[in-house]
């Protein structure tokens, strides 16, 4: 990437952290794992990976990251959430476990495990005009869907049946699928562009 960009982080308490760090590093980013509030203070944007959203919620509170993350998101920090990360960014979640909280920021309603169990995982090609050609190879693993969007949310991708699986609102980006395991870096590039725009 041109010029020196500020460091970015990957929420590293749970989920496919290494895969996101690898993609970001391959794009020239100074990418770091974030497990503590002081590490969050050092980054200009963060990726919230796929994993288990209820566990991420519990660990974020245990490690004192929840409130600092909420404050940074509310203040406009760029964030990219994949799968469980999408759930964590949603203002509201359906089918969450008892007591589950989100970080919020994205004006969406998400549904957990919308396609069933791990054995119901699937892959497909998605045409996303904002990313150009070729189509995005999307890997869905116990994926959520977005069931409602607010007026400020841009829908980037839908499945053929109409389910919303990628959204953007300002500097917040979220996908129900996993580009990081499909050798697809255009969403990470888009996230880094949001970071660069605020640098």
Question: What's the chain's Rg over C-alpha atoms?
Answer: 15
pLDDT at 113 over 90: no
In a domain, 192, yes or no: yes
CATH value at residue 190:
3.40.50.880
In a domain, 31, yes or no: yes
Mean pLDDT of 177-195: 96
Q: What is the pLDDT of residues 55-75, one digit of tens each?
A: 999 999 999 999 999 999 999
In a domain, 1, yes or no: no
Question: What's the pLDDT at 2?
Answer: 46
CB atoms within 10 A of CB 53: 29
Q: Which residues are catalytic?
A: 83, 178, 180
pLDDT at 98 over 80: no
Domain total of the chain: 1
In a domain, 3, yes or no: no
Mean pLDDT of 114-134: 84
In a domain, 157, yes or no: yes
CB atoms within 10 A of CB 194: 20
Question: What's the pLDDT at 120?
Answer: 65
pLDDT at 144 over 60: yes
Question: What's the pLDDT at 117?
Answer: 62
Supply the range of the domain harboring residue 90.
8-198
In a domain, 162, yes or no: yes
**pLDDT band at 3, cuts 50/70/90?**
low
Inter-CA distances, 31 with 10, 25, 88, 138, Å: 7, 6, 20, 23
In a domain, 2, yes or no: no
pLDDT at 119 over 80: no
As given in the structure block, the two tokens for residue 79 are 């964030």
Question: What's the pLDDT at 115?
Answer: 78
CB atoms within 10 A of CB 68: 16
In a domain, 95, yes or no: yes
pLDDT at 79 over 80: yes
Alpha carbon 181 to its chain's center: 14
């Amino acid at each position: 990437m041109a010029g020196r960009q500020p460091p970015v982080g990957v929420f590293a308490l749970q989920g496919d952290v290494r895969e996101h760090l690898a993609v970001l590093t391959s794009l020239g980013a100074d990418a770091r794992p974030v497990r503590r509030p002081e590490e969050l203070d050092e980054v200009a944007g963060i990726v919230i990976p796929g994993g288990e959203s209820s566990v991420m919620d519990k660990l974020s509170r245990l490690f004192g990251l929840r409130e600092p993350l909420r404050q940074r998101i509310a203040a406009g920090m760029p964030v990219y959430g994949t799968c469980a990360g999408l759930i964590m960014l949603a203002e509201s979640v359906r089918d969450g476990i008892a007591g589950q909280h989100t970080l919020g920021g994205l004006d969406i309603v998400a549904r957990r495990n919308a396609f069933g169990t791990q054995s119901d995982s699937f892959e497909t090609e998605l045409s996303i005009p904002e990313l150009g050609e070729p189509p995005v190879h999307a890997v869905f693993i116990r994926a959520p869907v977005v069931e409602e969007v607010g007026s400020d949310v841009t829908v980037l991708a839908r499945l053929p049946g109409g389910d919303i699986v990628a959204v953007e609102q300002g500097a917040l980006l979220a996908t129900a699928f996993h580009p990081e395991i499909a050798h697809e870096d255009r969403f990470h590039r888009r996230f880094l562009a949001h970071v660069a725009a605020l640098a």
